[in-house]
Structure 1
């Protein structure tokens, strides 16, 4: 299956994005192993997380509507945000993935979801923190947090993303805010690394 996905990605995704996807796959494996989660599921979700990344806006909207996914005005303004949810549809329809946890991890990797399970947390964090994203002190702190406590790392990662989006005057999707708030309410203590 892995080679089949890689062949499909080679036809549908630029080489630089494949490097990112492989980085997410590896970080998802590392996080899953560290947190004693299913490594095979993490690898599969990591490898498939960006299947719809380069779909055109109209295709993303059409597939989301056909699937009956709820659309927020932010989705309409920025259909690219739908690539995660649509990616799960592609994983199911193109590759026969039926495992609900894997499909959820793919669907939740961009905006998260309140109460998402640990596998979704792993892929959500791996997408933002894989080594190809850079080597800043902020990213390294978030990487440490992701190995220390998945749940706290989720809201910390959301906070960092929001800071970027606010500085760039970009819209923030309500689901991302709901994700951050849910995880902050459940796991409020701050991690400190010295």
Structure 2
């Protein structure tokens, strides 16, 4: 993309931190545990270097805020914060790919395309970002790849880690300090499904106001989140939510 390299201030996050990649195809993984495969490191410095060359500095700062927000929200809900962190760091890899390239990569990977994807290929940047994460950085954990794919449109049945990354992208501090965003941030600590529902409906209201097209998957995500929110219960400030 030709963007110049930028110095990155990672705050409390260490550039040398190795976030885990889970390779489900590794047969030796079953030797250590029956519940989780082997964790393999992701070279965070390599990812940051690639991002510095392929996204503008403003977007890179957004990515780092999403990563940090995802970590905090996952930890609050006792979820796998390392998976959330990895997906947050990698979620916008394809953000600045040209429409033609997005469509070519999606078709080459045999992704199922909706007519809306042809009309607005930018919506594919999440799905294509998962392809880049796999091919460029060797990410092979199904939940991390799914969270990258789901961060824009969501997906019915997505895991709570996907919900966390979906929300982190929408409400990281750089998005603003409006009353609506602050209410969403509070809601995300009470009930992830209700926060996903609120995010979907806020997005749709904005699209309705602009007479914009709505991707069918976004509507499906909204309907799924509504059902999950109705089924889940909030106990105090920190509900117990079952993973999907």
TM-score (norm 2): 0.77
Q: Give the deviation of 1:190 after TM superposition.
A: 10
More helix by share: 1
- Does the CA-based 8 Å contact 1:51-1:90 persist in structure 2? yes
Residue deviations 1:23-56 (CA, integer Å, cap 9, x gap): 1001000101001011111111000000000000
| Match in the other structure for 2:106 | 64
- Paired position in structure 1 for 2:227: 185
C-alpha separation in 1, matches of 2:141 and 2:64: 21
Query: Does the aligned pair in 2 maintain the 1:152–1:190 contact within 8 Å?
Result: no
- Which whole-Å CA distance do the structure 1 matches of 2:217 and 2:233 have between them? 22
Decide which structure has greater strand share: 2
The structure with the largest alpha-carbon Rg is 2
Question: What are the Cα deviations for residues 68-91 of structure 1, in whole angstroms up to 9, with x where unaligned?
Answer: 111111111100000000000000
Higher RCO (Cα < 8 Å, 6 or more apart): 1
CA distance in 2, matches of 1:144, 1:154: 12
Task: Name the counterpart of 2:90.
Answer: 48
Aligned residues: 192
2:192 pairs with 150, 153, 156, which one?
Answer: 150
Who is 1:37 aligned against? 79
1:102 partnered with 2:144: yes
Select 1:83's aligned residue among 125, 128, 143. Answer: 125
2: distance between equivalents of 1:68 and 1:124? 24
Aligned-residue Cα RMSD (Å) equals 1.5
User: Normalised by the size of structure 1, how large is the TM-score?
Assistant: 0.96
| 1:174 alignment counterpart | 216
Tell me how far 1:186 sits from its aligned partner. Answer: 2.2
Moved over 2 A (4+): 188-191
